[in-house]
Amino acid sequence: MAKKLKKNDDQQLDAVRMSSQEIWQAGLAAFAKAQEDEGKFFSMQLFEERVLRALSSIGVPSREEVEALNQRIEALTAQVAALSGKPAVKKAAKPAARKAAAPKAAVKKTAAKKPAAKKAK
């Protein structure tokens, strides 16, 4: 025999249904947002691949190729130094460090070349 629900039990059941429905809708919204973000990520990745392909077609080396060449140059420099009996030359400054140092040196040179201003009487 089916048990009749009291009014209080009926209200609790409705509250549970509403709560579960809200949770379901929030899950769907989160899933839709994740799909949207994945699409953006995929299109960005596709764009980067196309740019890399275009750069390699005109002969621009990739970051990995440049790093591999730098490592090979350092190894060869060490071998030459060992064979010649001379100490290995210190590593050159990174390009960013050289660029930052260049303007300071230029400022010092130009300041030294300027004649002193005459004092007004």
Q: What is the pLDDT of residue 91?
A: 61
Question: Residues 41-71: pLDDT tens digits?
Answer: 878 888 889 888 888 889 888 889 999 999 9
C-alpha–C-alpha distance, residues 22 and 28, integer Å = 10
Token duo for residue 9: 């039990």
Instruction: Summarize the confidence of residues 68-91 as an average pLDDT.
Output: 86
Q: What is the pLDDT of residue 1?
A: 45
Question: Residues 2-51: pLDDT tens digits?
Answer: 556 566 778 888 888 888 888 888 888 888 888 888 777 878 888 889 88
The mean pLDDT of the chain is 76
Q: Domain coordinates of the chain in residue numbers?
A: 11-60, 62-91
